[in-house]
């Protein structure tokens, strides 16, 4: 699943980015630190690139299985966001804030582009995956939040067929049915309902996304 939203390059958009990511990730166990890192990426784009000079930046979230990737595309700058190669631990004085926090909390991170425009990205694994990676042991638990369970597969397929303007899925952690417009909408946002039938009724009442 992939979502992308464009924001004005203004300070008041930093919490809006965090809210955007929080809503998308639902009850993902690492939702809050991922949203915090997304806010740090937004702050970097606004304060240190051309995006903050009456420009814009884009925030993209990709969620595949247990891996979440957050990327922010900015307007570019003469300075380079990172001073070391990907995976370099941040200096202690920078570890709790800014891009230092990003490096500390993410599994992988990096930057692409140049002074004309850059993408700064971070990749996050579920906590159980991080633990197994660091210890070499098997994960304590596994989950694939955006895949339909066998008992819900037919309902998931029906929703996908009927509502092509929406991303629809069953949340394993939340035990709820979710929908979000494929295209940005001023009148529709993230929706949650306890059953597939309830979600269908809600989408019918809203009309085409």
Top CATH class of 2-135 equals alpha beta
Do the strands 56-64 and 67-73 form a parallel or antiparallel pair, or are they unpaired?
antiparallel
CA angle 133, 138, 144 (to 5 degrees): 85
**Region for residue 188 given its phi and psi (left: phi exceeds 0; alpha: psi -120 to 50; beta: otherwise):** beta
Measured CA to CA, the distance from residue 208 to residue 188 in angstroms comes to 10
Q: Are 164 and 158 in contact (CB under 8 A)?
A: no
Q: pLDDT tens digit string along 78-122?
A: 887 654 444 444 444 444 456 677 878 888 888 888 888 888 889
pLDDT of residue 21: 94
- Joined together, the tokens standing for residue 14 give 């930093």
Enumerate the domain spans of the chain.
2-135, 150-206
Q: Are 16 and 189 in contact (CB under 8 A)?
A: no
Please give the model's pTM, rounded to 2 decimal places. 0.58
Percent of the chain clearing pLDDT 70 (strictly above)? 74
Percent of the chain clearing pLDDT 90 (strictly above)? 33
With CA atoms as reference, report the closest residue to 130 among 99, 106, 97.
Answer: 106
pLDDT of residue 7: 93
């Amino acid at each position: 699943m992939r979502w992308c939203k464009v924001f004005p390059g203004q300070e008041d958009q930093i919490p809006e980015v965090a809210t955007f990511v929080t809503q998308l990730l639902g009850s993902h166990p690492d939702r809050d630190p991922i949203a915090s890192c997304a806010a740090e990426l937004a702050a970097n784009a606004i304060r240190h690139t051309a995006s903050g000079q009456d420009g814009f930046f884009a925030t993209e979230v990709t969620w595949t299985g247990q891996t979440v990737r957050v990327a922010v595309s900015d307007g570019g700058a003469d300075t380079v966001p990172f001073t070391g190669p990907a995976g370099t631990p941040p200096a202690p004085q920078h570890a709790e804030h800014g891009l230092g926090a990003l490096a500390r909390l993410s599994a992988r991170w990096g930057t692409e582009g140049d002074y004309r425009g850059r993408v700064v990205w971070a990749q996050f694994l579920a906590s159980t995956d991080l633990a197994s990676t660091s210890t070499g042991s098997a994960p304590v638990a596994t989950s694939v939040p955006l895949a339909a369970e066998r008992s819900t597969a037919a309902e998931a397929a029906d929703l996908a067929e009927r509502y092509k303007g929406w991303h629809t899925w069953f949340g394993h952690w939340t035990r709820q049915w979710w929908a979000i417009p494929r295209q940005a909408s001023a009148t529709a946002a993230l929706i949650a309902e306890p059953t597939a039938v309830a979600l269908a009724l809600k989408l019918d009442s809203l009309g085409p996304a």
